[in-house]
Amino acid sequence: MYYQGVKKNIVVRSVEKNHSFLNAIHPLLERIFLARGITSEAELDRTLSKLPSPWLLSGMEEMVTHLITAINEQQRICIVADFDADGATSCAVAIKGLQLLGAGQVSFVVPNRFEYGYGLTPEIVELVKLQNPDVIITVDNGISSVDGVRAAQDLSIKVLVTDHHLPGHELPAADAIVNPNLAGDKFPGKSLAGVGVVFYVLMALRSRLREMNWFEKKQLQEPNLAQLLDYVALGTVADVVALEQINRILVHQGLLRIRTARCHPGLNALIEVSGRNPQTIAASDLGFALGPRLNAAGRMDDMSLGIQCLLTDDPALAKDIAVQLDELNNDRREVEGVMKHEAMALLSEMKVLDEHHLPAGVCLYDANWHQGVIGILASRLKDRLHRPVIAFAPAGKDLIKGSARSIPGLHIRDVLSDIAAVHPKLLSKFGGHAMAAGLSLKMHDYPPFALAFDEMVSKRLANVDLEQKILTDGELTEQEMTLEIADLLQNAATWGQEFPEPVFDGVFDVIQSRIVGQRHLKLVLRKPGGDLIIDAIAFFIDQPEQWLGLRQIKAAYKLDINEFRGNRSVQFILQYLEKIA
């Protein structure tokens, strides 16, 4: 991501000096890992054997018991999914996994965000009822669906909830709930995505069926659930959950399957339309190339299209759907560009761009904004302002929907909980994570909510450092700016949210500068007094011409490999630029 508009302080990550690895690794890697809190090689182990037992998740016994009954009796199962990439991959994992384990009748329903909104609501239960299911399984939702679960059970439909979102003050009276964030849950990984939770449910179910000799009795081959890990990797990265060790293992194993041509046709098609190389695909590609195209279905149309792409075993059909998703993503980019321009105009009118008038929490609303794009808009503005932002769009019936994005140190869902406690009639509904949340309001409640949000955020930001910083791993020597080091960094770990890819900094002489592709800045750099000439690129810059003709810059960058016509060379992917001369 390219940082622009606000000067930031480059800060080198601190390294714990009292630790070192038992076995020798490259000193640069040791420095990088220590700065991320890794103190032993065991924490970097990405083999499946290091995954904790699924039985540590509370509610798993009840969940598996109900699922075994459903499979034994060949009950009709309906998966109710969320309309984002995590929800879509969770749905694909649930359907494929249950079928592999012997379930014969599995269907799905994914709410259209523009008609029904999020989760298992009573309205969605009415839609599900048309399929006459015996069991509903929620994936990536359900923990706040108190009314929806009650409505389903009133129809004698069993409800099994798998979710990872934070629970509210009241849990739904579901027949079973598996969620690592339930109070008292002993599972060590609280950052599992929804797709990770349902994958763990399938692992527990398989182990119990194995104990029952189910596969021998039914003359079925016991399935290798690792074949689902490409889905798990995509959903985990796309949902921007923290890549603690469990998630690093799941993502790494999924990437290995993709790189060795063992992934599903839908993912292959998404990789192809995004122009990525499956043999060298990285977690960042899942987050910045595949995830947005899958998400585009839910943002611009209907996530059923994305789920169909994931589920199909027909490569030709997968390619056709992936092309549609790519077109939807292009539409999303255009809408986002217009909305961002309008948002900056609103901020200017509010004098928010003047740091002396910058509120603690920013709310923005426009009657023409697109519901499916407000989350991305909020994220872009949050990066620009370094403040929590909620972007709102009309939702019909005098309702508006908001998508919130936060900054490190401020738990956005807790802020909404605080507001709901003080102003119980202000929020129609809300839910989410520490860094992202969704909410609904009545249109006439927007002004008092915006004031309450600013006030509540202000209280919580009192002890948060608001200085805009770029955290780096220090400077690289010319001897470290090599293909060997770039390969080492790419393959040493699975980088992602809260386990960031290494970023370095330094001052460089600018040998050449030019604009490519309208908004990308291409530079040729050299360390002052050095001999090594190196290419660098900064993507998607507003007004890139302002950087032309400079003699010297300060930069933060990722050490990357540029592959072109079979040739590999080192390049910098610039994350931040600062003019010196």
The Cα 466–Cα 386 span in angstroms is 7
Of the given ranges (120-129, 273-282, 342-351, 434-443), which has the lowest mean pLDDT?
342-351
Please give the pLDDT value at position 115.
79
Task: Give the position of tokens 């599903």.
Answer: 264
The Cα 395–Cα 378 span in angstroms is 17
Q: How confident is the model at residue 356 (pLDDT cuts 50, 70, 90)?
A: low
Instruction: Just give the CATH number of 9-16+469-579.
Output: 2.40.50.460
More confident residue, 340 or 564: 340
Evaluate if residue 71 carries a pLDDT over 90: yes
Please give the pLDDT value at position 116.
81
Q: How confident is the model at residue 286 (pLDDT cuts 50, 70, 90)?
A: very high
Angle subtended at Cα 63 by Cα 59 and Cα 68, rounded to the nearest 5 degrees: 150
Tens-place pLDDT, residues 136-170 = 999 999 999 999 999 999 999 999 999 999 898 89
- pLDDT over 70 for what percent of the chain? 96
Of residues 99, 98, 107, the one with CA closest to residue 128: 107
Cα 146 to Cα 67, 96, 134, 149, 581: the distances in Å are 21, 28, 19, 5, 60
Structural domain boundaries of the chain? 9-16+469-579, 50-326, 350-463
Phi-psi region of 117 (alpha: psi -120 to 50; beta: other; left: phi over 0): left
Tens-place pLDDT, residues 439-451 = 999 999 999 999 9
224 Cβ contact partners less than 8 Å away, ≥ 6 residues apart = none
The mean pLDDT value for 361-375 works out to 94
Q: How confident is the model at residue 22 (pLDDT cuts 50, 70, 90)?
A: low
- pLDDT over 90 for what percent of the chain? 78
Q: How confident is the model at residue 352 (pLDDT cuts 50, 70, 90)?
A: low
Q: How confident is the model at residue 392 (pLDDT cuts 50, 70, 90)?
A: very high
Cα 215 to Cα 34, 68, 70: the distances in Å are 45, 13, 16
- Is CATH 3.10.310.30 what the domain over 350-463 is classified as, yes or no? yes
Please give the pLDDT value at position 355.
58
Evaluate if residue 23 carries a pLDDT over 70: no
Q: Which CATH architecture does the domain made up of 50-326 adopt?
A: Alpha-Beta Complex (3.90)
The mean pLDDT value for 94-98 works out to 98
Tens-place pLDDT, residues 532-569 = 999 999 998 878 888 898 999 999 999 999 988 888 99
